[in-house]
A and B are shown apart, each in its own frame.
Chain A
Amino acid sequence: MTVSPRRMRFHWSLPASGVADRRRGARFRHEIDQFADLDQQRDFCVRADELGLDSILLPIGFQRADPTVLATVFGLATNRLNLMPASRAAVISPTHFVQQVNTVSALTNGRIEINVVSGQGSDELRYYGDFSTHDERYERTDEFWTVCHALWRRDFPVDFEGRFIHVEGARINQSFVSPDRHRPYVYIGGSSEAALRLAIKHADCLLRVVEPPEQLRPKIQPALDAGIEVGIISSLIVAPTHDDALLAGHALAENAGERGRAAVAEWREKTTESVGFTEIYQLAEDRSSWLTPYLWTGLVPYMGPMSISLIGSPDEIVESIFSYRRIGVTQFMFQARPDLPTLEFFGAAILPKIRQREAAELAVDLIGEGR
């Protein structure tokens, strides 16, 4: 088995409901006010920066603040960290979008990456005037990114006439500013075939919700074969010992309780088109809540599909991360309940162990090649 020599990258998804929220995902979406916690979120980014995280994901949705504006102000508050706003193709002109991203790049020395999402629920997309179907959304996203990439290549003037997007003579003067890139690093999240195709065509990394490695391997192989990276999205439940981590996990479910279940049921109703979410719900229902000794679905009924968790002691988490690395996963997007203490724990007790082992394996690899 070949070990990718690529340095693993670790990201965190910023919660809308507060960095100290133990019920992330267990709340009714219309009750969330991200503004209530903005200062703490900025501090969270500063901590992530100090702890050596690579990027902070700023998701998009009606219950949230705008991720591009947040990327700007959180970028100003940090030094090395990348900010990763999520982007939906239907809400903005691709030219205007590239202009916004390039402006942020100029102000943060290129510390902006993009997470392309096609939207999870039709209801919410209609809030924004997007009445397309799941497949049409991917088609629109494809057109959107075709135009964006042409603008970033500065193939001016850019002319494009598709089914959804039409620009003529497009150019923008502000280029993407970065020490080493002419455009932002692009992630595409999704579990459908359409998402995979889109990622191979337009992105640098496919992001998928975590599954057991042996199940995930065939699904990500086409992306790896095409030369793009693969990342997994997972919740993290960590404690000094295995038993403590389990106790913490169960306490979270208990705390979310019936209200959490009701919020998840409502959210599920609205996101039935998401292939990835549907798979996770099924995983959580069909089998034991232990998919592997470290992958636990026990929170999913209470906190939704994104609460599928890697759970355990620091050594167990490190072990699990390397089990994904062996199948080619090089990026990890975490969230937690609550996020801030888990970030602190991860940064202090887990990330150094990962880097140590990574360096050791890389050294072995290099010696191997030397022979």
Chain B
Amino acid sequence: MTPLRFMWSLSSVGDKLRRSRSLTDMSGLPNLDEHVEFCRRAETSGIDSLLMAFGFTRPDPITYSATLGAHTDTIRFLVAVRSGIVSPTYFVQQVNTLSAVTDGRVCINIVAGRAPDELRYYGDFLPHDERYERTDEFWTICHALWRGEGPVDFAGRHYRVEDARINTPFVSAERTRPEIFIGGSSDQAHALAMRHADCLLTLPDTPQRMAPKIRPVLANGTSVGLLVTLICEPTHAAAVEAAHALVDSAGEKARTTHGALRGRSDSVGYTSVYDLAARDSDWPTPYLWTGAVPYLGPPGIALVGSPDEIVDALAEYREVGVTRFLFMGHPDFEQMTFFGEEVLPRVRARESVESSGRV
């Protein structure tokens, strides 16, 4: 049994209420010292990668990863990328250069983009389904370049390259290309993940409802990861209290902001989490909580509980085949530290008991 792997999102680090702000209010300026400290803590907390998100409110994830890479040793950077804003050849060249300056500590998170108005900022005017088609073409070219089987010719509907090659390879002790994650919940996202990715990253539902949806992906040999907020405290009661405090601190302004954002999204995953959150109970399972979704958006869907409860929750997802977790916390630094100290050792202990049990 392969051990579970854990990632964390750097998206909101240094900006506690980030998800509750209106987008144009945010400064893009990273607080570098704070982020470096966060990366260092991730390294000692058993986190293997940090998500570097993409969007007009943020620093560029590639150059920013190069910077954080220069200040860290082992943590990897999960760089979000959209097709449609860069030539695939140039993208591979940038990623390869990033790998060279970080000793291969780069992996890729393919995102389709979820708000069409923001995509147009970047010159991308395609509707949802065509974006997937373009992403498919983009990754066909990228993979061909990484395989390094000579000049690449490709003529698709969205991309055309002729005789493409680049001299600079992906630099890593273990890989000839970065590990690739694809975020998304639509059928197209699943198909794309099976064709091009190593892992499908998806928002949570209950394990029972997720199982049939991810089965084809797993059967294809692609792993599955959950993108979820973690609210873990020493006791169940403290965790629930922290969850409610989170909603209180976000407040009504956040509710308005996310109401507006919802209308602009054409993401299947987002829509289904909003739908889940609109049901009667905020607790689809004893540990899965949707109460923060109206305030923090779909990534606010949370695993809530004591360390032992979280370990159980992770095990339930693991039973249906989920092996990766990408967490967000509020605040991230404290949650990640607590996770590293209290949850991860229990996960590993349980894993070693289970694997020795199977021998």
**Chain A residues with a Cβ under 8 A of chain B:** 29-30, 32-35, 38, 62-66, 68-73, 76, 90-96, 99-100, 102-104, 106-107, 123, 126-131, 157-158, 165-175, 177
Contact = CB atoms under 8 A, between A and B. Distances in A.
B85 A38 contact: no
B97 A69 contact: yes
A68 to B, nearest CB: 6
What 6 pairs across the A-B complex have the smallest Cβ distances?
A174-B28, A173-B28, A91-B90, A66-B97, A170-B121, A93-B85
> Which of B57, B85, B97 gathers the greatest number of chain A CB atoms within 10 Å?
B97
A173 to B, nearest CB: 4
B268 interface: no
Interface string B38-81: 00000000000000000011111011101100100000000000
A175 to B, nearest CB: 7
> Which of B23, B94, B101, B117 gathers the greatest number of chain A CB atoms within 10 Å?
B101
B166 interface: yes
Given A66-B93, A129-B87, A130-B87, 15 more contacts: A29-B167, A62-B89, A65-B96, A65-B100, A76-B70, A95-B121, A102-B60, A107-B64, A127-B89, A129-B159, A157-B121, A166-B125, A167-B122, A168-B121, A175-B29
22 contacts: A30-B167, A32-B167, A65-B97, A66-B93, A66-B94, A68-B63, A69-B98, A76-B70, A93-B123, A96-B85, A103-B59, A106-B28, A107-B32, A128-B89, A129-B161, A168-B120, A168-B125, A169-B121, A173-B26, A173-B27, A174-B59, A175-B29
Contacts of A90: 87
A29 B159 CA distance: 25
Contacts of B171: 35
Given A100-B63, A129-B159, A129-B161, A106 B30 contact: yes
A69 B66 contact: yes
Given A131-B160, A168-B120, A72 B166 contact: no
A103 B200 CA distance: 29
A261 to B, nearest CB: 22
Contact of B165 (A30, A103, A158): A30
B88 interface: yes
B331 interface: no
A104 B121 contact: no
Contact of A64 (B67, B84, B89, B168): B168
B97 A167 contact: no
A259 B344 CA distance: 59
A100 B123 CA distance: 16
Contact of B101 (A30, A69, A174): A69
A171 B100 contact: no
Nearest to A62: B166
Contacts of B120: 167-170
